[in-house]
Chain A
């Protein structure tokens, strides 16, 4: 079975349908008698909403109904996490209506919904809705939002500050910084990004009057969470009357975790109009309504002794939350950010404070990495800056401060306890793969051609496998974060596995099947993995934070344990042996020390046709469910190295090499892991060189509101990558896995920008904000040369 077990580069089970056009995405689905919804969105960033006249729209051809905030009397969108102010008081949690209630707070804020027989009719009719907007001054930037006397988004949120949170001992850190031999300071802007999964969000809602059941198809990374949040908090629908299906989903990257207004509007409206209703976002709507990512402004100070040992780190961050609290938004710039500021280092004292600010922009929430890329960017940029100031090689400075490989478990000063890792190994691996030693010659060669060449490192860490429920709860989470797995062995020995995680590119249908094939010896073609349907998988918390394998895979191992154990009892009966003497390996139960054996399939058959079966002590059937609550986070780590060449005349940054050496623990499918790393790296490079969500400072309009204006990485922006892995196993989950989905997006931005700054040092430029566009680089070079 090794060829389809753990560690094999099994080709994917899901590919055939995707390659032949048989994928089943939400917009591919049509329901009988289906109507279409179009959402009218605010063209203003900040405005009072007076009378909304829908009469002309209601009379337009094909229109079934028009609803506004006056009509839809349901709960607001809930927030799943509470962060506290420094004084212990809870965050401000202003209402988040599904349709505007008297005010709009960002361009794209939903104002009304038109439902019509045809999509075009709904869109045409929406143009006939007359909304009496009274525009207010827009405050799209954190600077504008926190200025004294700034207009307020919400009356009861003073200064537009959601919370002002801190971790660590400020006085102790200040005292160390005051006495340190060297202090490196840096100003960081972590640019706002748009997730831009290639499949726009979509939904179809349907209500069955016969049974009272609601059905929602939606583009979600976590259908059970959508059912819980929408049912319990918005629409007051019990779970048994609400089925949520997230079929094939075309990428998420975080943006499809959250409960969105459209899902609630459609579910509610389908019962009003007694028709199924379909809505599919246009890409422009995705830009105006999908939660966006990042958007931090940070000042950081790193204190070092004369030998370059880190003594203390002080970080002050402002985080832009946008106009409303999205589902997990408060956790991203706090518990998923500041707790990672120790990085891979022994920095003994850390203080971080985070002010979260409401602005007239699209809400911000988790985007690939969620807080951890922002933390890595702060730490790895300031470490490289310190290396430059102290003229210590950046690899050497990192080595001097790495946590020793025999120091685990390692308690950081910012709450997390790392279980395992070897940062030296991945650093060395990356240095070798990048030919770090030969860089000097390449730089000289580039200089001969008038080019500026730079190299940059980032030795990241991340906390994945979210999350131990009790810890998360103590930190303000309003949910548990365990996972469920059901292994249903069928009478003839084939298997259907049900998971509460969701695959939207991650390849669970293959990798989870490998774990099963490895354990039970069942051919992989006889195993199907089912996800994305609340009526099929009992429960689950979905896929994000690289949790599917560390948490969902652990639940799967527990369920497999139960299957194997029950099978032992059946096998013992069949072979008339003692259960204690039964061993299971290579797909068969054997009596230890004999050649007596019974294959797994025969045990399965006996479980369902129990003619010769211990019915007095054992139930028939072979179908086991397990829930797994993680004992700790997992801590993938590694070093990424970027090499760039800059054209002084055009400012163009060419990424000539990108190396990633990662430690993800046990690897189930190396092909899939490499693919995940590649994708993450591309998003990280995108952040560093290309992508930026820009709002007009006066009007609050999103200037980069389409794929023509927002620069997504194309094939010709990127090189082929060099990736490799070094394994230290996670010590607290049964597979020893750590998670690999976010690493690329975490390490790459810092590595690329360290390389850009390294290159620009030659012309006296020692800082630059992302993205390093040709214009920005050219201006930096020429401003410096002019001076």
Chain B
């Protein structure tokens, strides 16, 4: 079995995986980072979004071996201890989550958007979220949260 070395949330990890193991399986099953979720089998839902070398990626579409040598950030690595990341805080403040299942992917995706576009419009946010499905919120409060979160991130720079 191939051995994969990568950095996850600032810590280096070396894991033996099957060739077919996906990055999301490495995170969930080998490293116990179960905050990254699997909601579909066709790369539609976006519950598994993490950052690989700073860019949002669906971790179900990447083989673990492809992630060798990369720097991966998951939802577990976003907050500083008990202090939520501004995007996490904005989701809480704006009730941008209900059941919480799509939330990690939504937040990780939103953080990447805010890095690329510090002041996204509602339209830009809705277009960006094409790859993230939420069944609970109707997106209304997610859009509000991302707008507020992006502004907070821009303000704290």
Residues of chain A whose beta carbon lies under 8 Å from any beta carbon of chain B? 11-12, 14-23, 25, 27-28, 120, 195-200, 248-251, 253, 280, 282-284, 504-507, 671-672, 674-676, 678-683, 706-708, 712-716, 718, 720-721, 744
Alpha-carbon distance A680/B98, docked complex (angstroms): 12
What's the nearest-Cβ distance from chain B to residue A175, in Å?
A: 45
Q: Could you write out 22 A-B pairs with CB less than 8 Å apart? A: A12-B92, A19-B92, A19-B107, A23-B100, A120-B18, A197-B101, A197-B135, A198-B37, A198-B99, A200-B38, A248-B100, A249-B99, A251-B99, A283-B41, A507-B98, A675-B141, A679-B135, A682-B138, A708-B42, A712-B133, A714-B129, A720-B122
B 60-98 contacts with A by CB, 8 A: 74-76, 78-79, 84, 88, 91-93, 95, 97-98
Alpha-carbon distance A248/B130, docked complex (angstroms): 26
B92 in contact with A23 (CB, 8 Å): no
Chain A contacts for B100, CB-based, 8 A = 14-15, 17-19, 23, 248, 250, 505
A199 in contact with B78 (CB, 8 Å): no
Report the nearest A residue to B132, measured CB to CB.
A715
What's the nearest-Cβ distance from chain B to residue A200, in Å?
A: 7
Q: Which residue among A22, A198, A251, A507 has the maximum number of chain B CB atoms within 10 Å of its CB?
A: A198
A198 in contact with B47 (CB, 8 Å): yes
Given contacts A198-B99, A718-B138, contact A21 B74 (CB under 8 A): yes
Given contacts A715-B130, A720-B143, contact A28 B34 (CB under 8 A): yes
Given contacts A681-B138, A715-B143, contact A25 B101 (CB under 8 A): yes
Alpha-carbon distance A283/B60, docked complex (angstroms): 13
Chain B contacts for A674, CB-based, 8 A = 95, 141
Given contacts A199-B39, A707-B44, contact A715 B75 (CB under 8 A): no
Given contacts A20-B75, A21-B75, A671-B95, contact A250 B37 (CB under 8 A): yes
Given contacts A250-B101, A675-B141, contact A21 B35 (CB under 8 A): yes
Given contacts A253-B135, A679-B135, contact A199 B41 (CB under 8 A): no
Interface residues on B, range: 35 or more
What's the nearest-Cβ distance from chain B to residue A391, in Å?
A: 35
Report the nearest A residue to B39, measured CB to CB.
A198
Chain A contacts for B76, CB-based, 8 A = 20-22
What's the nearest-Cβ distance from chain A to residue B62, in Å?
A: 18
- Per-residue CB contact flags for chain B residues 12-56 toward chain A (1 = under 8 Å, else 0) read 000000101000000010000111111111101101000000000
Chain A contacts for B88, CB-based, 8 A = 19-20
A25 in contact with B130 (CB, 8 Å): no
B126 in contact with A715 (CB, 8 Å): yes
Given contacts A23-B100, A505-B99, contact A716 B127 (CB under 8 A): yes
Q: Which residue among B97, B102, B138 has the maximum number of chain A CB atoms within 10 Å of its CB?
A: B138
A675 in contact with B137 (CB, 8 Å): yes
Report the nearest A residue to B76, measured CB to CB.
A21
A21 in contact with B137 (CB, 8 Å): no
Chain A contacts for B143, CB-based, 8 A = 715, 720
Chain B contacts for A18, CB-based, 8 A = 97, 100, 103
Report the nearest A residue to B134, measured CB to CB.
A198
Q: Which residue among B20, B45, B140 has the maximum number of chain A CB atoms within 10 Å of its CB?
A: B140
Alpha-carbon distance A120/B25, docked complex (angstroms): 12
Chain B contacts for A249, CB-based, 8 A = 99
B125 in contact with A715 (CB, 8 Å): yes
- Please report the number of residue pairs spanning A and B whose Cβ atoms sit closer than 8 angstroms: 181
B95 in contact with A25 (CB, 8 Å): no
Chain A contacts for B141, CB-based, 8 A = 674-675, 678
Given contacts A27-B38, A707-B45, A714-B133, contact A19 B138 (CB under 8 A): no
What's the nearest-Cβ distance from chain B to residue A268, in Å?
A: 26
Residues of chain B whose beta carbon lies under 8 Å from any beta carbon of chain A? 18, 20, 28, 33-42, 44-45, 47, 74-76, 78-79, 84, 88, 91-93, 95, 97-104, 107, 122, 125-127, 129-130, 132-143
What's the nearest-Cβ distance from chain A to residue B61, in Å?
A: 13
A712 in contact with B18 (CB, 8 Å): no
B79 in contact with A20 (CB, 8 Å): yes
Alpha-carbon distance A675/B136, docked complex (angstroms): 8
Report the nearest B residue to A678, measured CB to CB.
B138
A251 in contact with B101 (CB, 8 Å): yes
What's the nearest-Cβ distance from chain B to residue A198, in Å?
A: 4
A251 in contact with B135 (CB, 8 Å): yes
Given contacts A706-B42, A715-B129, A716-B126, contact A22 B135 (CB under 8 A): no
Q: Which residue among B33, B107, B134, B139 has the maximum number of chain A CB atoms within 10 Å of its CB?
A: B139
A198 in contact with B98 (CB, 8 Å): no
Closest 9 CB pairs of A and B: A21-B35, A250-B101, A18-B100, A682-B138, A505-B99, A505-B98, A678-B138, A28-B34, A707-B44
CB < 8 Å neighbour of A721 from B44, B135, B138: B138
Chain B contacts for A671, CB-based, 8 A = 95
Alpha-carbon distance A683/B141, docked complex (angstroms): 15
Alpha-carbon distance A253/B143, docked complex (angstroms): 22
B97 in contact with A19 (CB, 8 Å): yes
Report the nearest A residue to B75, measured CB to CB.
A21
Report the nearest A residue to B79, measured CB to CB.
A20
What's the nearest-Cβ distance from chain B to residue A287, in Å?
A: 10
Beyond A19-B79, A678-B140, 11 extra complex contacts between A and B, CB < 8 Å:
A11-B95, A18-B103, A20-B84, A27-B38, A248-B100, A507-B98, A681-B138, A682-B137, A714-B126, A714-B139, A720-B122
Report the nearest A residue to B91, measured CB to CB.
A19
Chain A contacts for B35, CB-based, 8 A = 20-23
Alpha-carbon distance A232/B41, docked complex (angstroms): 35
Chain B contacts for A16, CB-based, 8 A = 84, 92
Chain B contacts for A707, CB-based, 8 A = 40, 42, 44-45, 133
B101 in contact with A679 (CB, 8 Å): no
Chain A contacts for B103, CB-based, 8 A = 18-19, 23
Alpha-carbon distance A672/B97, docked complex (angstroms): 10
Chain B contacts for A712, CB-based, 8 A = 44, 133, 135
What's the nearest-Cβ distance from chain B to residue A574, in Å?
A: 38
What's the nearest-Cβ distance from chain B to residue A204, in Å?
A: 13
Given contacts A198-B39, A715-B125, contact A708 B44 (CB under 8 A): yes
A15 in contact with B129 (CB, 8 Å): no
